[in-house]
Chain A
Amino acid sequence: MRAALVSRLLQAAVVVVLVVVAAFALIRLAPGDPFYSSLEEANVAPEQVARIKAHWGYDRPIPEQFARFARNLAQGDLGYSHSRIQSVQEALAATIPNTLVLVVTALGVAFAAGIALGAWQGWRAESRAARSTDTLGTVAVSVPEFVLAVLLMIGPALAWRWFPVSGMRTEFGPAGLAGLADLLWHLALPATALALPVLFIVARLQRNAMLGVRDAEFVRAARARGAGEGRAARRALRNALVPVLAYAGVHLSALVGGVVIVEKVFDWPGMGRLMVAAVHARDYQLVVGGVLAGAVCTVVGTMLADLLLLWADPRQRGRA
């Protein structure tokens, strides 16, 4: 098991290194630089522009720039964001926790509710209620987060005014427990938009897996020993979790796109919104830093899902 984890870690490290090199190369080889709109378009004298570029090291050869970038990176310095007028790590440190709050809540709700729904659908597959919720799921899975987010914004937020339209906290709002309630109130809609598609995909996988193990011998044996329905279902559940966790590991990176869009729609002060603004501002350092942070978060999340998979399915532990 340890060997499997080490090899996964190495693989993850290779991905991150490749991302760093690709990100830097792509951004620096492209035309234009962060000073284009602020200085060159604004009719600043060429020698002045050259001096500012030299000050930030943009006049050095690209390999040298990369060497310095890599050295700084190794020391935890991601560079300076010209559009935010602060260091990249400060900008990221201010937004990553907000994104994590959103993503962890959404995934927690989606997996808990999806597993419960799917397990029930599988255990009671013959009932009409289970079949109709499954049909509903087929449609719900297909509605993109982005459409869902805008529809949630119009209905519950704007038309009915149940939830706030944007942001993460009420300005000058309460602190403490009331502050937490305020946060949850702001969180409800963006988290729902992110969670719903995942919930129904998870439910579908869980349902099929449950159908697969429902009549397996170890479940029948549990019943034969006199275990109640609930205990037999729990036995089946742990085994039926395997495909769901495998899905989580593989598809976590696909969820990132939804996060960026949902943050933009609900003006959530997270990394996604920051990244979109950085792209529009041609703020290279911030884009590269953000992409890097996003890749690391995704890799870590994927590894967590793999660990859970090892817990749920001991058979996987022997494999590399």
Chain B
Amino acid sequence: MTRGARLAAALLGAILLSALLAPWLAPADPRAQGALESLIWQPPSAAHPLGTDSAARDVLSRLLHGGRATLGIALLAVTVSMSLGSCIGAVAAVARGPLDALLMRVTDAFIAFPRLLLLLLVVAGVGHPGNAAFAVLLGATGWMTTARLVRQETRRLLATDHVRGARAVGVPWPRLVARHVLPALAPTLAAAATFAFATAVPLEAGLSYLGLGVLPPAPSWGNILADADARPLAHWWLVFFPAVAIAVTVVSANVLAETVARRAGAIDADRGEDEA
């Protein structure tokens, strides 16, 4: 592990931990509004280390709780998209023939269609679905690359000696995939999941910024930023801190994902040499 990757892992760990411990770390209730008009839009001070927003709420508390929403939604979305993508990819690889072709055409169609337009469409139709449903929605529109990856890798693994051996002794398909294929894919999937997380965080933040994701008064990194929309320079702390939180999270996740991917690649490369 390089120094950069170790730093990225530490930063990401700290951010996740701070989000997890938000109820105990936050100095104030993230939804508690200040009693006085003069308390709104206070720049950072001793009482409010990251300032206050348009309703005199403590930005530090909102940032910590907002991280809970943003990161939680991203994690749930990644879980959904990875599960869905793995299932579709594995089924396509095992089935071959017309089912494989059909599943891959559906995947192509989803890839060709802009993810954000799909999300806009659903939000327009269903309205604001609540955070959990929103996360599932993000996941349900992000499974395609995983499906392709899993299909390709599963087909490769199905042709290897140990899997063919297992098949020869009569191991049924579901168990074959679960016991002999997916474990071998774990490093690749871990890298893909970390990349997907790095995509889901700004997607959630962006949609919440547009007013289509996590709705105020519930905080998210995206809608804290939106609060400064009218005067972002005068209220810079409402932009700066969530922007830094998003950027640090995404950069760390990407650096980490690249390291994991390189390792997964190295493992695969070794295995390839063994076979040759």
> Would you give the shortest CB distance from A208 to chain B, in whole angstroms?
13
* A256 cross-chain contacts in B, Cβ below 8 A: 114-117
Q: Mark B238-271, 1 if CB is under 8 A from A, else 0.
A: 0100010011001101110010000000000000
CA distance A18 to B106 in the complex (A): 10
Contact with A along B118-135 (1 / 0, CB 8 A): 001111111100000000
User: At the interface, yes or no: B198 with Cβ under 8 Å from chain A?
Assistant: yes
Q: Does B109 contact A (CB under 8 A)?
A: yes
The answer to whether the Cβ of B217 comes within 8 Å of any Cβ in the partner chain is: no
- Distance in angstroms between the alpha carbons of A147 and B203 in the assembled complex: 11
Known: A26-B125, A256-B117, A276-B120. A261 touches B206 (CB 8 A): yes
Name the contact of B254 in the complex, choosing from A18, A23, A141, A147 (C-beta under 8 A). Answer: A141
CB contacts (< 8 Å) of B115 on chain A: these are 253-254, 256-257
> Which of B127, B210, B225 is packed against the most chain A CB atoms within 10 Å?
B210
Given known contacts A142-B198, A291-B121, A261 and B210 CB-to-CB distance under 8 angstroms: yes
Q: Do B233 and A261 touch (CB < 8 A)?
A: no
| CB neighbours of A291 from chain B (8 A) | 117, 120-121
Q: Determine whether the beta carbon of A264 is less than 8 Å from that of B113.
A: no
Does B89 sit at the interface, judged by CB under 8 A?
Answer: no
| Contact residues in A for B243 (Cβ distance below 8 Å) | 147, 150-151
Residues of A within 8 A of B108 (CB): 11, 15
Contact B233 A159 (CB under 8 A): yes
Question: Complex formed: what's the CA distance from A264 to B236 in Å?
Answer: 18
- Quote the shortest CB–CB distance from B245 to chain A (angstroms): 10
Smallest beta-carbon distance A4→chain B, Å: 14
Whether A298 sits at the interface, judged by CB under 8 Å, is: yes
Q: Are the C-beta atoms of A138 and B255 separated by less than 8 Å?
A: yes
| Minimal beta-carbon separation of B248 from chain A (angstroms) | 9
Given A27-B125, A298-B113, A257:B254 Cβ within 8 A: no
CB nearest neighbor in B for A253: B114
- Tell me, rounded to whole Å, the shortest Cβ–Cβ distance linking B241 to chain A: 12
The number of A-B residue pairs with CB atoms under 8 Å apart is: 131
Contact of B124 among A11, A27, A150, A151 (CB under 8 A): A27
Question: Number of contacting residues on B, CB 8 A?
Answer: 42
Return the chain B residue nearest A299 by Cβ. Answer: B112
Q: Decide: A12 near B112, CB < 8 A? Known: A143-B250, A143-B251, A295-B117.
A: yes
| Majority DSSP secondary structure for residues of A touching B | helix
Residue from the set A253, A278, A287, A302 with the largest chain B CB neighbour count within 10 Å? A253
Q: Which residues of A contact B233 (CB under 8 A)?
A: 154, 158-159
Known: A23-B121, A256-B116, A278-B124. A147 touches B109 (CB 8 A): no
Q: In the complex, what's the smallest C-beta–C-beta distance from A49 to chain B, in angstroms?
A: 20
Given contacts A142-B198, A256-B116, contact A14 B121 (CB under 8 A): no
Asked if A226 CB lies within 8 Å of chain B CBs, one says: no
Kindly state whether residue A146 has any CB partner on chain B within 8 Å.
yes
State whether A146 touches B202 (Cβ < 8 A).
yes
B179, chain A: closest CB distance, angstroms: 33
Residues A253 and B250 in contact, CB atoms below 8 Å apart: no
Contact, CB under 8 Å: B125 / A276: no
What per-residue 1/0 map shows which CB atoms of A4-32 lie under 8 Å from chain B? 00000001101100110011001101111
B202 near A144 (CB under 8 angstroms)?
A: yes
Residues of A within 8 A of B112 (CB): 12, 15, 253, 295, 298-299, 302
Contact of A280 among B116, B205, B211 (CB under 8 A): B211
Does A39 interact with chain B (Cβ within 8 Å)? no
Nearest-CB residue, chain A, relative to B145: A250
Tell me whether A186 is interfacial, beta carbon within 8 Å.
Answer: no
Residue of B112, B232, B254 with most partner-chain A CB within 10 A: B112
Cβ of A275 within 8 Å of any chain B Cβ, yes or no, is: yes
Bits for B41-63, please: 1 = Cβ < 8 Å to A, else 0. 00000000000000000000000
- A15 cross-chain contacts in B, Cβ below 8 A: 108-109, 112-113
- Check B120–A279 contact: CB distance below 8 A: yes
Can you name 4 extra interface pairs (CB under 8 A) apart from A15-B112, A31-B127, A295-B114? A11-B105, A19-B113, A144-B202, A298-B114
- Which residues of B come within 8 Å of A, CB atoms? 105, 108-109, 111-117, 120-127, 198, 201-203, 205-206, 209-212, 225, 232-233, 236, 239, 243, 246-247, 250-251, 253-255, 258
A-B contact list, 14 entries, CB within 8 Å: A12-B112, A15-B113, A139-B251, A154-B233, A159-B233, A253-B115, A254-B114, A256-B114, A257-B115, A257-B203, A279-B124, A282-B124, A284-B124, A295-B117
- A residues adjacent to B (C-beta < 8 A): 11-12, 14-15, 18-19, 22-23, 26-27, 29-32, 138-139, 141-147, 150-151, 153-154, 158-159, 250, 253-254, 256-257, 260-261, 264, 275-276, 278-280, 282, 284, 287-288, 290-291, 294-295, 298-299, 302
